């Protein structure tokens, strides 16, 4: 595959040696749902930390126990957690949202109920319910959580609600994702060229059922044991 940043210049692909083993477990069709939860939580923790580090930060010089200075920096999630809203695309996105809340419990939370219609040829996304903080426009950063980016229908539906209905500026949004593919990246680049994307893997393509290949199957079904 060509450089995926040629498709979407806002893309960051996580570069951690730990990902290989974690993906080996969660991509395996013989991995049980209990194991899937364990290994995907480990992976999502890495993704959540990297995403928080991607948010605006400020320099913080501290003193260590050896009376030395350390010139550090802190993400806005650590200094002002109430200025950051983490939004899940229900249902699979809830798993990733909880990884963020495990790290920073004070983050604001929003939820968008969006499901693919698996009976439609294009797997169109259907939005049924929204629960977001009222002051979304005042957030310094909004993290959109969805582990899978396939056709891009679900995430662009979510982004449209955030931007068009709630007035969130696209450059304030970071989309946190476990596995994506060129089709979804292309749609996001076209519709939301200012939204940053942080992913753990860019897979090859979609199959005839619009599932990512090699992929890992239906993330929500495997995580919530509804296979």
Nearer to Mg ion, 24 or 209 (CB): 209
- Per CB under 5 A, does 220 bind Mg ion? yes
- Per CB under 6 A, does 212 bind ligand URA? yes
Is the separation of the CB atoms in 92 and 148 below 8 Å?
yes
Q: Find which of ligand PRP, Mg ion, ligand URA, none residue 149 binds, CB within 5 to 8 Å per kind.
A: ligand PRP
To ligand PRP, the closest distance from the beta carbon of 128 in angstroms equals 11
> Residue written as tokens 């290949």?
213
Q: Which residue is nearest to ligand PRP (CB)?
A: 220
The structure tokens listed for 85 are 């809203």
The CA–CA distances, whole Å, from 66 to 69, 70, 73 equal: 9, 11, 19
Nearer to ligand PRP, 16 or 209 (CB): 209
Nearer to ligand PRP, 77 or 200 (CB): 200
CA 100 to chain centre: 10
Nearer to ligand URA, 52 or 149 (CB): 149
Region 145-174 residues binding ligand URA, contact defined as CB under 6 A: 148, 150
Q: Which residues would be at the binding site for ligand PRP (CB under 6 A)?
A: 89, 91-92, 115-116, 123, 125, 146-155, 184, 210, 218-221
In angstroms, rounded to a whole number, what is the distance separating the alpha carbons of residues 52 and 101? 11
The CA–CA distances, whole Å, from 197 to 33, 45, 121, 192, 207 equal: 27, 16, 26, 11, 23
Helix (H, G, I), strand (E, B) or coil at 29: coil
Give contact residues for ligand URA (rule: CB under 6 A).
148, 150, 211-212, 215, 218-220
């Amino acid at each position: 595959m060509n450089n995926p940043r040629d498709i979407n210049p806002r893309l960051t692909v996580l570069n951690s040696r730990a990902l290989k083993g974690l993906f080996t477990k969660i991509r395996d069709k013989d991995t049980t749902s209990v194991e899937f939860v364990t290994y995907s939580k480990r992976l999502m923790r890495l993704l959540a930390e990297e995403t928080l580090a991607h948010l605006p930060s400020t320099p913080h010089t501290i003193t260590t126990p050896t009376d030395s200075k350390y010139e550090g920096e802190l993400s806005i999630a650590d200094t002002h957690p109430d200025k950051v809203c983490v939004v899940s695309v229900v249902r699979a996105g809830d798993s990733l949202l909880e990884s963020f809340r495990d790290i920073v419990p004070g983050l604001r939370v929003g939820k968008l109920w969006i499901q693919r219609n698996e009976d439609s040829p294009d797997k169109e996304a259907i939005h049924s319910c929204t629960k977001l903080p009222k002051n979304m426009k005042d957030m310094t950063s909004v993290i959109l959580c969805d582990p899978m980016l396939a056709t891009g229908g679900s995430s662009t539906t979510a982004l449209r609600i955030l931007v068009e209905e709630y007035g969130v500026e696209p450059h304030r949004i970071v989309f946190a994702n476990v596995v994506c593919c060129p089709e979804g990246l292309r749609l996001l680049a076209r519709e939301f060229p200012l939204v940053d994307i942080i992913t753990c893997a860019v897979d090859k393509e979609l199959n005839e059922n619009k599932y990512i290949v090699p992929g890992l199957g239906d993330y929500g079904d495997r995580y919530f044991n509804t296979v």
